[in-house]
A and B are shown apart, each in its own frame.
Chain A
Amino acid sequence: MPHLEVSDVRARYGSLEVLSGVSFTVDRGEVVALVGPSGSGKSTVLRLLVGLLPPSGGTVRVAGEPVDYRRAAMVRAVRDRMAIVFQQYNLFQNMDVLKNVTLAPVRIKGRDRREVEDLARRLLDRVGLGDKLHAYPDELSGGQQQRVAIARALAMQPEILLLDEVTSALDPELVNEVLEVIRDLAREGMTMILVSHEMAFVREIADRVVMMDKGSVVEEGPPAEILDNPRTARARDFFGKILRH
């Protein structure tokens, strides 16, 4: 049984349908990459999964159980199992690094503060920021902020980590430090869904690639297959453009 099962999910902003029937699955320990042109709805899928955008149809199952996004308690339960990292990091500007990482586990999940702080220190050490515990976000570079954001998501101890174009807002020389962290997580068997434009990275890290266009899935399969021998014209066109760069 797949750990996450998205089937025929739809969503709309007002009268504009942004997802028109999206289906894919994610197994435990698997890394799935969502790729596709901008506006194809990749990020929308992630926002929908954590309950930032209500679906207008279809079902999402986590560990076999369907999620009713209209029920607040259920949405909260889903957010307990998934954590999201945003393109713009979205660290809380009014809190230092340690507070950013420990806030939700301590104040929302009610875990022991000392325990969480120990965990936070370990996580921040691991992303190479053990010396920045008391820095504020605006004192950090984009790459550092994004690594804090990843640590913050991991501190929630999620079953699935959602990464939304986490390197798109970074200067090229800062991209690698973030990718390194993700690579590490993949090696440890973290279940991840990542939206990315870094095709070389996707090829290296993803177990499966889901190609989206105009709000629906065009093709899916192992990276070698999808990236090198796309079956559909739409995918050939897209990868042809991207890989030529």
Chain B
Amino acid sequence: MDRIIAQLPRFFSERNLILLLESAGLTLAMTALGCLIGFFLALVLVYLRKTPGLWALPLRLVCVAYVEVFRRIPFLVIVYLVLFFIQTVIRDASLFTVAVIAICLYATAYTAEIIRAGLESVPQQQIDAATAMNLGRFRTTLWVVLPQSMPVIVPPSVAFAVGFIKDTALVSQVGVFELTFRGKELNNQGFSAVLVFGTIAFVYFLMSWPLSLYGQYLETRLAAPRSQRRPRKIRQS
């Protein structure tokens, strides 16, 4: 205990604080980037998965298999696979890229399930109406189904991304300079593990908790019917 107290001023030096802040930023950046790209890839995946017709059966199977397989592999294993696979293709790929790709692969599989459930929550009649008006599958999805399913899709997707901030701690293992990696570094420099990992845990907490509260707020807000959500604008024409 005395040792921890003695280390306090040296640990909370300007240099270390900036280091922690930067690495926290990196943690947030790679989570946000990976989950965002993953979200869009998941949209494409779900769209392809819903391709009708017998000829598209292999395509549908590939989409289902992707989701099923990647949800059943530990993130750490995916990180290693991406790392070693990329190194055989591109010699000097940055570790940040490796992390983002790994997060992206994982997020795609998880958000695909969220998006699928969301799209399926839109009543078939809406699709019928659009089809009868010659909208076609792509435009029906883009203009009618997707906008209506957003309230169902966005909150759990945000919750997933926020939850994933913590899980990205695992990429410290391959040497990305994110928060956990810096923590280990400081611990190796002789700072008390209690002090270092306590602080790191607190920084994660500061990122994760407010965002998860925001996610919950988003859920209640989007669940409200449109007429109560939109500020009333009465335009007469």
Q: Which residues of A contact B (CB under 8 A)?
A: 47, 50-52, 76, 79-80, 83-84, 86, 88, 90-94, 103-104, 107-108, 121, 131, 133-134, 136, 138-139, 156
Instruction: Tell me, in angstroms, the Cα distance from A76 to B137 when the chains sit together.
Output: 13
Stretch at the interface among B56-64, B109-117, B128-136, B157-165: B128-136
Q: Does B126 contact A (CB under 8 A)?
A: yes
- Secondary structure type dominating chain B contacts: helix
Within 8 A of A (CB), among B104-152: 125-126, 128-135, 139, 143-144, 147-148
Instruction: Tell me, in angstroms, the Cα distance from A86 to B143 when the chains sit together.
Output: 19
Q: Mark B202-237, 1 if CB is under 8 A from A, else 0.
A: 000000000000000000000001110010011111
- B148 touching A90 by the CB < 8 A rule? no
- A93 touching B132 by the CB < 8 A rule? no
Complex contacts, A51 vs chain B, CB 8 Å = 131-132
Instruction: Tell me, in angstroms, the Cα distance from A90 to B225 when the chains sit together.
Output: 17
- B148 touching A76 by the CB < 8 A rule? no
- B235 touching A84 by the CB < 8 A rule? no
- A92 touching B144 by the CB < 8 A rule? yes
Complex contacts, B126 vs chain A, CB 8 Å = 90, 92-93
Complex contacts, A134 vs chain B, CB 8 Å = 233-235, 237
- B132 touching A50 by the CB < 8 A rule? yes
- A83 touching B132 by the CB < 8 A rule? yes
- A52 touching B131 by the CB < 8 A rule? yes
Instruction: Tell me, in angstroms, the Cα distance from A200 to B234 when the chains sit together.
Output: 39
- B134 touching A79 by the CB < 8 A rule? yes
Closest Cβ of chain A to B139, distance in Å, is 7
**Residue in A86, A94, A107, A133 whose beta carbon sits within 8 Å of that of B129 in the complex:** A86
Instruction: Say yes or no: A136-B125 contact (C-beta < 8 A), given A79-B132, A79-B134.
Output: no
**Residue in B128, B132, B139, B148 whose beta carbon sits within 8 Å of that of A107 in the complex:** B139
For chain B, which range describes its interface: under 10, 10 to 19, 20 to 34, or 35 or more residues?
Answer: 20 to 34
Closest Cβ of chain B to A235, distance in Å, is 30
Chosen A-B contacts, 21 in total, with CB atoms closer than 8 Å, are: A50-B132, A51-B132, A52-B132, A76-B134, A79-B133, A79-B134, A80-B134, A83-B132, A83-B133, A86-B129, A90-B125, A92-B129, A92-B144, A103-B143, A107-B139, A108-B133, A108-B135, A133-B235, A133-B237, A134-B233, A138-B227
- B133 touching A104 by the CB < 8 A rule? yes
Instruction: Tell me, in angstroms, the Cα distance from A90 to B237 when the chains sit together.
Output: 24
Instruction: Say yes or no: A156-B133 contact (C-beta < 8 A), given A90-B128, A134-B235.
Output: yes
- A131 touching B236 by the CB < 8 A rule? yes
Instruction: Tell me, in angstroms, the Cα distance from A92 to B144 when the chains sit together.
Output: 7
**Residue in A52, A76, A94 whose beta carbon sits within 8 Å of that of B144 in the complex:** A94
Given A93-B148, A108-B139, 20 extra CB contacts under 8 A: A50-B132, A52-B131, A52-B132, A79-B132, A79-B133, A83-B132, A86-B129, A92-B129, A92-B130, A92-B148, A94-B226, A103-B143, A108-B133, A121-B237, A133-B235, A133-B237, A134-B233, A134-B237, A136-B227, A136-B230
Q: Which residue of A lies closest to B131 (CB)?
A: A52
Instruction: Say yes or no: A138-B128 contact (C-beta < 8 A), given A80-B134, A133-B237.
Output: no
Complex contacts, B230 vs chain A, CB 8 Å = 136
Instruction: Say yes or no: A84-B134 contact (C-beta < 8 A), given A90-B125, A94-B147.
Output: no
- B134 touching A138 by the CB < 8 A rule? no
Instruction: Say yes or no: A52-B128 contact (C-beta < 8 A), given A79-B134, A107-B139.
Output: yes
